[in-house]
Amino acid sequence: MIRVMVVDDHPMWRDGVARDLTDEGFEVVATAESVRAVTARVGAVSPDVVLMDMQLPDGTGVDATAAVAQASPSSRVLVLSASAERDDVLAAVKAGASGYLVKSASREELVAAVRATADGQAVFTPGLAGLVLGEFRRIATDGGGDDPELPALTTRETEVLRLVAKGLSARQIGTRLTLSHRTVENHVQSTLRKLQLANRVELTRYAIEHGLDE
């Protein structure tokens, strides 16, 4: 069972999302309404996924995402926000968020996104993934990928990394390379460990910075 923490300062919305997720078989282990509450609770419950609003009364979702990264490093943050502004999306990702959905997403889209986030995938509302990749490419062009000391990846790991950078899911990669979904995930996790990266968003950034997304 996937363990979820729901963070939002609007009680009716927060409780409604928590109820929907519970009905879909998730375990909602905590809710929070502020950065302070997130900081106090997340380490104790260690959720698989933190569903994060961007506007909180004592700070932002960026602040709360940073608090999650420090107190519960294994937790993945999926932003669920009313804002689709470029600066908000990029700030959330740079703080460590694994994905970003706008609140107009359907219940089905939200449920699928939480499951995908728990599986280590980067999930974005259509259009926002391109924005994030564009920013990573800009960083790479400005000199973010100059490190010649690349960890030794196997040929297969490099193939999988290239396809992750193109936005393919594990199942799509498996079909492309004639591998099982589980084998692809094993390659992704091995690559994350070797590169000392936390999630697929960072893996995609790494691939772009080193020219592996072409």
Whether 67 and 103 map to the same domain: the answer is yes
CA distances (Å), 197 to each of 120, 129, 192, 200, 206, in order?
A: 12, 19, 5, 8, 9
Per-residue pLDDT, 141: 52
Percent of the chain having pLDDT more than 90?
Answer: 39
Average pLDDT over residues 58-87: 89
Domain holding 70, by residue range, is: 3-124
17-61 confidence digits (pLDDT tens): 999 999 999 999 999 999 999 999 999 999 999 999 999 999 999
Average pLDDT over residues 154-181: 82
* Dihedrals phi, psi of 124, to nearest 5 degrees: -135, 145
- Count of the separate structural domains present in the chain: 2
Rounded to the nearest 10°, the torsion over CA 208, 210, 213, 214 is 130
Whether 10 and 114 map to the same domain: the answer is yes
Last residue in a domain, options 106, 124, 142: 124
Q: Radius of gyration over alpha carbons of the chain, in Å?
A: 17
Per-residue pLDDT, 97: 85
CB-based burial label for 45 (10 Å; 0-12, 13-18, 19+): middle
H or E element that contains 131: helix 128-139
H or E element that contains 51: strand 49-52
30: Cα within 13 Å, side-chain hemisphere: 21
